[in-house]
Structure 1
């Protein structure tokens, strides 16, 4: 478990632990608290520049992870793109789409960034640069909304009165977006258990990440992903 530099953690994991056979580059997965169901966004910083095969392998590992650890029977997979049309995106995205379409993965097409909060897919795949931008924008937007709410609450009487009736529901909603309880982000593709936590993590977030790492190791996460990849991925 580490809160250090994402690229260094991914590279260090590969150097110290090696890769799962059949995986070229590791990917960092982040669980997003979207509408109706959690969504795994991958990669969010492990591999900044991706080849089509990397995106395909992220889709494999992400689908396996959701099936084994989130009890999703047949995880849906989408590629993050600038539009839903087949003509959108660059050569890497197009080639990755063809690889995923020709596999046994439950591929549902492209997803746009505004689709993510609606829970359009169980797994959304992108390169590490794009994923890192998406997740940090989400963090910043969440902080902005929280600050705006505090300002309204502090300066006006009616919101204070309304909060008395809404507090229980508000706590439940805010709890879903508590990144400190997320348990960190698994670095998938490394031949060992590696969990990345936010750089500003304190004891609460790190303790949840340690619990997440222990759960992943106890359930033989690496071994099960290795077995699935050897059998041809999520089938």
Structure 2
């Protein structure tokens, strides 16, 4: 993206919730995209998540380390092909610890032991309703990384899906970390801006990589 008149700066959106723009450089974005493409292949590949009520999420998902399904975790794709979940890569754990250190000024060597990755793919019509990441036993910060198209990320509060909330523009390479008093805040993606990703990345749509600590 061309240089901007006013470069974007890190910003605390809510207590314990920090947005760090342009955190991943172009090389890191390319490497992460190639890894996501490999993880998306079957078995235990990209799938459509269905809710207990019979609805379907519009963002498709693949899991690493632990398989998430509404509303729990398993070691196999219990709501898909039944294959064992792909292992959680050590490099994602290192990325997660570095992300927390950069967001909060912590020591990366003492960071959380991340062991779950949820990779969500958003096409032009995909959305994510307001929800909380509450199926983990650990309250370690959640790390969110964006690749491809820009989205509107709606970050709310722990008490309700309704206001107050803040809409944040997340672009390719951006980091968003939320923990502490914001760990259980409701959040969602009401909009993806099609065709806004870096052309050189070669991604049509948006990928979101969310890192969590299971506590299991």
Give the TM-score normalised by the residue count of structure 1. Answer: 0.23
Whichever of the two has the greater Rg, that structure is: 1
Q: Identify, as 1 or 2, the structure richer in helix.
A: 1
Q: TM-score, normalised by structure 2?
A: 0.25
Which is strand-richer, 1 or 2?
2
Query: 1 or 2 for the larger relative contact order (CA 8 Å, sep ≥6)?
Result: 1
